[in-house]
Amino acid sequence: MGWRRLNGRPIEGDIKTVVRNTILIEQSKGHNLKICIGTDSQTRGDTVEFATVIVFIREKKGGFMYIQNAKSNKPMGLRERMILEVGKSVEIAYQLCDVLDEMNVPLEVHADINTDPHFRSNVAFKEAMGYIMGMGFVFKAKPDAFASTSCADKVV
């Protein structure tokens, strides 16, 4: 599925080009940016629905996000679903990393995984952290992973 804005308006074109153009516009307005990418999912019956977000944070000036939704009818356990969420985020981060490096925009990958072992999502914490950091990205988990736990959670 394609990308859209929070208001539902579709984003036309390749996401890498769109992000590059968005950064140029925001920087021309004097904004310092940071990009956070995260994915969340919900199980509804036999379907798992995913939402991946690219959150543009304007230093001291708020932010906005681009959203991509997807569905899977494949049955999966919690660990597999958590790793699939991380995989979706890493895939987008990898597509964008050269643009962000070139434009000097910091990137964080957020995982909707709890650092507290008393929570079920902790089952995939070590794998997720290793995957994200192994790809060279900054890793954030709950409670610091707002892109996945707050932004993506609202649009899944």
| Residue 151: band (very low, low, confident or very high) from pLDDT cuts 50, 70, 90 | very high
**14-35 as b/e: b if 16+ CB within 10 A:** ebeeebbebbeebeeeebebbb
Q: What is the pLDDT of residues 70-128, one digit of tens each?
A: 999 998 999 899 999 999 999 999 999 999 999 999 999 999 998 888 888 888 899 99
Question: Which pLDDT belongs to residue 112?
Answer: 92
Report whether pLDDT(39) > 90: yes
| Residue 64: band (very low, low, confident or very high) from pLDDT cuts 50, 70, 90 | very high
Q: Which amino acid is at 18?
A: V
Output the average pLDDT for the chain.
95
Question: Which pLDDT belongs to residue 89?
Answer: 97
Give me the percent of the chain exceeding a pLDDT of 90. 87
Question: Which pLDDT belongs to residue 117?
Answer: 87
* The total number of structural domains that make up the chain: 1
Give the domain range for residue 135.
3-155
Cβ contacts of 121-129, under 8 Å, gap ≥ 24: 121/78, 121/82, 123/78, 123/79, 123/82, 124/78, 124/79, 124/82, 124/83, 124/86, 127/79, 127/83, 127/86, 128/82, 128/83, 128/86
